[in-house]
Amino acid sequence: MSGPKSPARVRLSNSEQETVGALGEFGLIDRFVSRIGAAPGDEVWSGDDAAVFSMEPQRLLLTTDVLVEGIDFDRNYATGHDVGWKTFAANVSDIAAMGGRPRRAVATLCLPSTTQVAFVDELLDGLLAASERWGAGVVGGDVSEADRISVGVALVGNAEHPVLRSGAKPGDAICVTGSLGGAAGGLLALRTDVEGVAELKRRQLRPVARVEEGVVAATAGATAMIDISDGFARDLGHLVAASGVGCEIEIDSIPVDPALADLAELIFPMEAALAGGEDFELLLTIPEGSLNRLSIELNEIGTEVTRVGTITDGEARLGTTSLEQWKEGGWEHLRTQ
């Protein structure tokens, strides 16, 4: 519950002081369920043993992510809304990286009894705002007591032709959507109380998953795809390892988030771009011949795509360095700046 309050909210109402312990388990469930809202058509959401829904008969996708206080988020700078949004968005990003669309989700909340109900309400706000943003209803969930807050989401999606990590072929172009390093810059700014750099902080707190971009890439012929959650170098490593290929990356072509220039005294922008995690951009490979179509179609939905290198049958290299060396040193180096 950090962050500025408007003057009208400076005096806490009773509801803002109320804790989860006072609400009780069933009170908490009621609060969750009442927020989920009505199921469309003949679907059944919360209130039965399991949710019921249908989707077009494509291949099904299933993923889960859990965020834990003190490990994955810090309430000194993240509001409940931020935490709920990010947990949902991280799951959506995994579906996007398959070229799929998110459809329905369940959520679990584990909360200390001392948690303020107002924080829980914010958290549900964030979860449901993200759920609406990507058209993937939260259809149920579970709550339990715990020592610290954790939020889990499991998300079902579908795709006509899922794009795996393992399909990259020598000669394919390697591309990334948007820009890199912003989320790591935002994290540093939040942790060290840097003023301003709002866009970098937003990238850390309210990430946007690239669903339409993933669908466009799948349709345009992407051979492999992954979302950048662990950092460009690590996720590229996952992709080339799964595909059994090598790569050459031109460091100068990496689309470094321009807003990182404002943090240049604290962080090397290129290092944030290569090693920083949680950008939730898509890293994909595609045959040379399909690159033009991909670029045009992504530009049509307002998203830049940058070619950063080529898949090879040799070693995996990032500039003049082997990718292995980068993966070992990159992130730790960044953290100890």
Residues found near a copy of itself in the complex (CB under 8 A):
44, 47-55, 57, 59-68, 71-72, 93-95, 97-98, 100, 104, 106-108, 110, 139-142, 144-148, 150, 152, 154-157, 159, 162, 164-166, 225-227, 242
Q: Smaller CB distance to a copy of itself: residue 189 or 229?
A: 229
242 token code pair: 């799964």
Q: Give yes or no for a contact between 317 and 236, defined as CB atoms under 8 angstroms apart.
A: no
> Least CB distance from residue 93 to a copy of itself, whole Å?
8
Backbone φ and ψ for 143, nearest 5 degrees, come out as: -130, 150
* DSSP-derived 3-state class of residue 63: strand
335 token code pair: 């953290």
Q: Smaller CB distance to a copy of itself: residue 16 or 72?
A: 72
> Least CB distance from residue 311 to a copy of itself, whole Å?
17
Give residue 13's identity as a one-letter amino acid code.
S
* DSSP-derived 3-state class of residue 92: helix
> Least CB distance from residue 214 to a copy of itself, whole Å?
10
* Of 302, 77, 74, residue with least CA distance to 201: 77
* Sign (positive or negative) of CA dihedral 316, 322, 324, 327: negative
Q: Smaller CB distance to a copy of itself: residue 22 or 62?
A: 62
Q: Give yes or no for a contact between 225 and 214, defined as CB atoms under 8 angstroms apart.
A: yes
> Least CB distance from residue 119 to a copy of itself, whole Å?
18
Q: Give yes or no for a contact between 39 and 92, defined as CB atoms under 8 angstroms apart.
A: no
Q: Smaller CB distance to a copy of itself: residue 69 or 189?
A: 69
> Least CB distance from residue 320 to a copy of itself, whole Å?
26
Q: Give yes or no for a contact between 19 and 119, defined as CB atoms under 8 angstroms apart.
A: no
Q: Give yes or no for a contact between 323 and 233, defined as CB atoms under 8 angstroms apart.
A: yes
Q: At what angle do helices 20-36 and 117-133 cross, to 10 degrees?
A: 20
Q: Tell me the C-alpha distance between 168 and 246, whole Å.
A: 9
Backbone φ and ψ for 282, nearest 5 degrees, come out as: -100, 135
Q: Smaller CB distance to a copy of itself: residue 95 or 249?
A: 95
* DSSP-derived 3-state class of residue 165: coil
Q: Tell me the C-alpha distance between 16 and 148, whole Å.
A: 19
Q: Smaller CB distance to a copy of itself: residue 110 or 263?
A: 110
Q: Smaller CB distance to a copy of itself: residue 164 or 266?
A: 164
> Least CB distance from residue 12 to a copy of itself, whole Å?
28
> Least CB distance from residue 107 to a copy of itself, whole Å?
8
Q: Smaller CB distance to a copy of itself: residue 6 or 54?
A: 54
What is each CA distance from 128 to 116, 211, 283, in whole angstroms?
Answer: 19, 17, 27
> Least CB distance from residue 263 to a copy of itself, whole Å?
27
